Amino acid sequence: MKVGVILPIGSHANQPSPWAEVRAYALAAEAVGLDALWAFDHTIFRFPDQPEWGGLEPWTVLSLIGGQTSRIELGSLVLGMRFRHPALLAKAAATLDDATGGRLTLGVGAGWHDPEYRAFGFPLDNRLSRTEEGFEILRRLLDGERVTYPGRFWQTDDAVLLPTPSRRIPLLSSARGGRMMRIVARWADAWNGAWVARPDDPLLVSRSAELDRACETVGRDPAAVERTAGVSIRFPDATLPGPTGNRVKDLMGDAAALAAGLAAFEAAGYRGVMIWPEPMNVHSIERIGEAVALLDRSHRT
């Protein structure tokens, strides 16, 4: 099982850290032996009766970090499909993956925070239809096809990625159910369920079971879609709850307790965990590193 962490570039619960701190955090994650860094994709957050704030642009951040690290994998969790034309996104993904020696997992989803789409002029309508068309274009281009796609929302005319991608870049997505789960079942290589602190969380279990059913609906072996989990960890010096929004649900404890908590996900069949630590700083990375050092590293593949 691979253990990754969320980059502190801004989320619905946290304002972004300055770039120097993001860089130090990423370098620390590689130094302590973590497997991956994951970036959210948000332009601005506007909630009623709250100050507005924004996030750092993830593609820029991943590109910069990719050039300053040598081993740790990079991923998006997840890019909003409506923010970028899928053909150009495929081109950017192939470029970054090649430049970093095959370290990219491309996570893409439908997006959910309407105010940021409205503010930056991106469409609000037909969210899932746009996402479904985009996934097909992405997968086919990344697989080396020439793609002419006269879609309702996205179009290409004999598009092709040259140079051809050097490997099959994995696509990851998240879904809570319904039509989006079927889109994941058809096009994604991996699914992420978040945010939880244990693998038997009823929400995670029910969503994973729905993914199984969605795979069967589209005629795909459920085992072909890798399962990953977004894990909420909160340390004693945290000033905010973890992303579950419930202090009782966050994974807590010393290195041994955290290692046991992470190992439970591996035992349950999860091939990767993406940790959201509170607080998001280098000290938290060091504490996670201590826990990961206690895991059976022979299974971290």
The DSSP element (H or E) to which 39 belongs, if any, is strand 36-39
Exposure of 88 by Cβ count < 10 A (0-12 exposed, 13-18 middle, 19+ buried)?
exposed
DSSP state of 15: P
CB 153 within 8 A of CB 129: yes
pLDDT at 301: 52
Q: Give the HSE-up count for residue 213: Cα atoms under 13 Å, Cβ half-sphere.
A: 11
**What is the pTM (predicted TM-score) of this model?**
0.96
Q: Which of 36, 42, 47, 48 is nearest to 16 (CA)?
A: 42
pLDDT at 73: 98
Cross-strand pairs, 107: 172
Cα gap 211→188, rounded to integer Å: 11
pLDDT at 48: 94
- Domains in the chain and their CATH numbers? 2-299 (3.20.20.30)
CB 125 within 8 A of CB 176: no
pLDDT at 250: 83
For the chain, the distance separating the N- and C-terminal CA atoms, rounded to the nearest angstrom, is: 6
For 228, list phi and psi in degrees, rounded to 5. -130, 160
Place of tokens 């938290």: 284
Q: Which of 257, 254, 277, 251 is nearest to 199 (CA)?
A: 251
| Cis-peptide into 279, omega within 30 deg | yes
Exposure of 193 by Cβ count < 10 A (0-12 exposed, 13-18 middle, 19+ buried)?
buried
Written as six digits, the tokens of 18 are 């300055």
Cα gap 25→47, rounded to integer Å: 28
Cα gap 194→204, rounded to integer Å: 7
Written as six digits, the tokens of 44 are 């601005």
pLDDT at 246: 63
Average pLDDT per run of 10 along the chain, which is 301 residues long?
Answer: 97 93 98 98 95 96 98 98 98 98 98 97 97 98 98 98 96 96 98 96 96 98 98 92 69 93 97 97 97 76 52
Q: 144-147, long-range: CB within 8 Å, 24+ apart, which pairs?
A: 147/87
Q: Give the HSE-up count for residue 217: Cα atoms under 13 Å, Cβ half-sphere.
A: 15
